[in-house]
């Protein structure tokens, strides 16, 4: 069965499968309200996520989005027919599929881990269906090709997330974090939607390709809407910064990640962040070509990302260095990693940048495993009830060596120690940034190195706590929840095996980046 035999709308199959899974979960919930049959619920979620993953991998392997003889070309959807020349609302290309894969993998991992974590909680069906709905939104974000679909997909991802953070209804921290998340989210969405309206005002279009052609047709010497367009772009960046937890739109992240159940923190900090990046990548490479836009608004928009990248990685890492609780440390480290990924946009140039953007995409993939794994270890610790601070984690390795070994892999990979996956993606980011050659990018590269060095401090602090320190109190024997263990071990294995697999991964990522630029 070849892909081109299928109708066009099946191009969105990875997202549609997730949507269908959410509906199945609703059906189960309506048949058996307040069901606590975790096996069924988690099973459906995992099956849906894996099916979505399988389809996405199949598409990418079959050549969707690749040009040339072998490739099947980009699938354009909902272009409104011949009489409406607005362009497609969704596009399924390599980048879209690449990020769909990341979302599906993280969703699957989190679903497996949640099987144990949600043991004894109420609202099981709601939990899974909200999560799958959010994943649907993220998957759609990867393919959205118009400011409208982008906004809708983004809201589809955000709204379930607010509810998910608050799923521990009796937990004050969970509810408070959710409210803050929601308020900051509302503010950010408002800013973004206003930005969209300004861009529509300046260009008369919402579809990304249409915006680009509108800008290309404009007279650069006498352009009246430069302020409006610039402000609109900047406000759009605000919306993306919220989704990727970049400074200054990051304030929700530490609280939400800390208050939420740990699997949800993993989900939000890995998949949601990756989805935020894919729309940023797509909008800025498709709708606002660097040279044309710079001619109109008088400045390269990469400057905004250069500033954001440096500030974000610095704030994230420095704040992480002084945290006492592990989860909050990971939350700030997640902000720091958003800063690293922003280099992918900061390093774009008129005649290139696919290397640095491909590196950012690679980093997001590796990050999807190592960060998810790290948060799942926190989930495991919460499951055991050992406490929240570094000291509470002391000496866990004697009781749970396998999980703690995996934790060591996650931490050292996050810090970028060779030969783990995190090292290679950071290395490509670094060489990509250096390769651009401008002074600003050298500063960015230097910031990357300094922040990575600092990050080793707090990551290794956690490794030291579990492996070297003696426990403060005597603990009872720790159980070994199968689902959590499976997810953690799988994430650890992937973090390691991405090393030999880095050839194809980097090829795919750089190709995907080159295709959109």
Partner 1 sequence: MEGVFSYAPAIAAFPLVAFVIALAFGKYMPKKGAFAGIFATLGSLVLSVLMLVAVASGEVYHETLYEWAIGETPSGIGGIEFTFGILIDPLSALMLVIVSLIAFLVHVFSLGYMNAEGETGLPRYYAGLGLFTFSMLAFVFADNLLMAFMFFELVGLCSFLLIGFWFRTRSAPSAAKKAFLVTRFGDYFFLIGVVAIAATFGTLQFAGDGSFVAAAEAAMDGTGEAWTPAGIGIESWVTVTGLLVLGGVIGKSAQFPLHTWLPDAMEGPTTVSALIHAATMVAAGVYLVARMFGYYALSPTALAIIAFVGGFTALFAATMGVVKDDIKQVLAYSTISQYGYMMLGLGVGGYVAGVFHLMNHAFFKALLFLGAGSVIVIMHHEQDMWKMGGLKDKAPVTYYTFLAGALALAGIIPFSGFWSKDEILFDAMIVGLEEPVILAAYVMGLLAVFFTGFYTFRMVFLTFHGEPRSETAEDPHPVGWSIKAPLIVLGVLALVAGIANLAPVAKLTGLDITFLQGWLDGEYGAVEGLTYGAYSDLLAYETGVIGSEQLTVLLAAGLSLLLAFSGAGLAWKLYNVPEPVAHKERLGSVRETIEANYYQDEYQVWLAEGLTLPFARAADRFDQTVIDGLVDGVSTGSRSAGSRMRRLQTGIVTNYAALLVAGFIALLVVLGFLGGWFL
User: How many other CB atoms sit within 10 Å of the CB of residue 393?
Assistant: 27
If one asks whether residue 318 binds partner 1 (CB under 8 A), the answer comes out as: yes
Query: Which residues in the 195-254 window bind partner 1 by CB under 8 A?
Result: 226-227, 230-231, 234, 238, 247-249, 251-252, 254
Question: Considering only 216-224, 269-277, 295-303, 347-355, which stretch makes contact with partner 1 by CB under 8 A?
Answer: 295-303
Q: Which string of x and - marks every residue 252-271 that binds partner 1 (by CB under 8 A)?
A: x-xx----------------
User: Which lies closer to partner 1 via its Cβ, residue 180 or residue 363?
Assistant: 180
Least distance from C-beta 323 to partner 1, angstroms? 7
Q: What's the chain's length in residues?
A: 517
Kindly tell me which residue out of 154, 184, 346, 491 binds partner 1, with binding defined by CB under 8 A: 184
Question: Considering only 26-34, 42-50, 259-267, 291-299, which stretch makes contact with partner 1 by CB under 8 A?
Answer: 291-299
Least distance from C-beta 343 to partner 1, angstroms? 17
If one asks whether residue 419 binds partner 1 (CB under 8 A), the answer comes out as: no
Q: Which string of x and - marks every residue 135-174 that binds partner 1 (by CB under 8 A)?
A: ----------------------------------------
Cα Rg, the chain, nearest whole Å? 22
User: Within 13 Å and on the Cβ side, how many CA atoms surround 10?
Assistant: 10
User: Which lies closer to partner 1 via its Cβ, residue 299 or residue 472?
Assistant: 299
Chain position carrying tokens 């990418």 = 60
If one asks whether residue 342 binds partner 1 (CB under 8 A), the answer comes out as: no
DSSP code of 479? P
Question: Considering only 29-37, 67-75, 186-194, 371-379, which stretch makes contact with partner 1 by CB under 8 A?
Answer: 186-194
Phi, psi (rounded to 5 degrees) for 75: -90, 120
User: Which lies closer to partner 1 via its Cβ, residue 162 or residue 428?
Assistant: 162
Least distance from C-beta 284 to partner 1, angstroms? 14
If one asks whether residue 315 binds partner 1 (CB under 8 A), the answer comes out as: yes
Distance between CA 311 and CA 290 in Å, rounded?
22
Least distance from C-beta 327 to partner 1, angstroms? 14
DSSP code of 207? B
If one asks whether residue 434 binds partner 1 (CB under 8 A), the answer comes out as: no
User: Which lies closer to partner 1 via its Cβ, residue 4 or residue 457?
Assistant: 457
Which residues touch 326 (CB under 8 Å, ≥6 apart)? 378, 381, 388, 389, 390, 393, 462
3-state secondary structure of 345: helix
Least distance from C-beta 227 to partner 1, angstroms? 4
If one asks whether residue 191 binds partner 1 (CB under 8 A), the answer comes out as: yes
Q: SS3 for 86-147, per residue?
A: CCCCEEECHHHHHHHHHHHHHHHHHHHHHHHHCCCCCCHHHHHHHHHHHHHHHHHHHHECEH
Q: How many residues of this chain interact with partner 1, rule: CB under 8 A?
A: 36
Q: Following CA atoms 154, 158, 160, 165 in sequence, which dihedral angle do they give, to the nearest 10 degrees?
A: 160
Least distance from C-beta 472 to partner 1, angstroms? 23
DSSP code of 469? S
User: How many other CB atoms sit within 10 Å of the CB of residue 491?
Assistant: 29
Decide if 207 contacts 274 (C-beta within 8 A).
no
User: Which lies closer to partner 1 via its Cβ, residue 250 or residue 273?
Assistant: 250
Kindly tell me which residue out of 298, 385, 401, 419 binds partner 1, with binding defined by CB under 8 A: 298
Kindly tell me which residue out of 6, 37, 303, 419 binds partner 1, with binding defined by CB under 8 A: 303
Phi, psi (rounded to 5 degrees) for 219: -90, 110
Distance between CA 477 and CA 278 in Å, rounded?
43
Query: Which residues in the 444-473 window bind partner 1 by CB under 8 A?
Result: 454, 457
| Token pair for 147 | 């400011």
Decide if 245 contacts 262 (C-beta within 8 A).
no
Residues forming the site for partner 1 (CB under 8 A): 179-180, 183-184, 187-188, 191, 226-227, 230-231, 234, 238, 247-249, 251-252, 254-255, 297-299, 303-304, 307-308, 315, 318-323, 454, 457
């Amino acid at each position: 069965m070849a892909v081109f035999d299928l109708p066009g709308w099946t191009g969105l199959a990875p997202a549609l499968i997730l949507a269908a899974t959410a509906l199945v979960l609703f059906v189960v919930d309506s048949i058996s309200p307040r069901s606590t049959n975790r096996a069924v619920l988690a099973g459906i979620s995992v099956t849906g996520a894996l099916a979505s993953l399988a389809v996405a991998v199949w598409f990418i392997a079959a050549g969707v989005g690749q040009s040339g003889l072998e490739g099947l070309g980009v699938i354009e959807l909902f272009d409104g027919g011949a009489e409406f020349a607005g362009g497609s609302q969704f596009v399924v290309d390599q980048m879209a599929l690449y990020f769909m894969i990341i979302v599906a993998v993280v969703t699957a991992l989190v679903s497996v881990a949640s099987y144990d974590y949600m043991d004894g909680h109420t609202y099981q069906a709601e939990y899974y269906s909200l999560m799958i709905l959010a994943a649907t939104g993220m998957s759609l974000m990867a393919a959205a090709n118009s400011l409208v679909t982008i906004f809708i997909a983004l809201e589809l991802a955000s709204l379930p997330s607010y509810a998910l953070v608050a799923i521990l209804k009796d937990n004050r921290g969970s509810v408070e974090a959710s409210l803050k998340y929601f308020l900051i989210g509302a503010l950010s969405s408002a800013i973004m939607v206003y930005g969209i309206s300004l861009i529509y005002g300046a260009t008369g279009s919402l579809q990304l390709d249409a915006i680009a052609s509108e800008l290309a047709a404009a007279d650069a010497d006498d352009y009246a809407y430069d302020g409006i367009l610039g402000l609109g772009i900047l406000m759009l960046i605000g919306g993306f910064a919220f989704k990727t937890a970049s400074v200054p739109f990051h304030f929700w992240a530490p609280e939400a990640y800390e208050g939420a159940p740990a699997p949800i923190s993993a989900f939000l900090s890995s998949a949601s962040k990756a989805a935020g990046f894919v729309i940023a990548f797509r909008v800025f490479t498709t709708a606002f070509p660097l040279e044309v836009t710079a001619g109109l608004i008088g400045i390269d928009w990469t400057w905004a990302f250069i500033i954001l990248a440096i500030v974000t990685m610095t704030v994230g890492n420095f704040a992480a260095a002084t945290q006492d609780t592990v989860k909050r440390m990971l939350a700030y480290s997640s902000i720091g990693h958003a800063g690293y990924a922003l280099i992918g946009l900061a390093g774009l140039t008129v005649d290139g940048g696919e290397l640095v953007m491909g590196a950012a995409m690679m980093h997001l993939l590796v990050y999807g495993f190592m960060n998810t794994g790290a948060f799942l270890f926190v989930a495991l610790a919460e499951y055991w009830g050992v406490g929240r601070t570094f000291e509470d984690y002391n000496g866990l390795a004697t009781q749970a060596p396998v999980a703690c070994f995996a934790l060591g892999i996650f931490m050292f990979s996050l810090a970028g120690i060779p030969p783990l996956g995190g090292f290679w993606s950071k290395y490509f980011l670094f060489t990509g940034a250096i390769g651009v050659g401008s002074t600003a990018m050298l500063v960015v590269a230097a910031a990357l190195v300094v922040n990575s060095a600092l990050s080793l401090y707090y990551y290794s602090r956690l490794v030291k706590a579990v492996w070297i320190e003696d426990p403060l109190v005597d603990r009872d024997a720790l159980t070994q929840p199968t689902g959590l263990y499976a997810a953690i071990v799988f994430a650890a294995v992937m973090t390691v095996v991405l090393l030999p697999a880095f050839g194809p991964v980097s090829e795919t990522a750089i190709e995907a980046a080159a295709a959109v630029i």
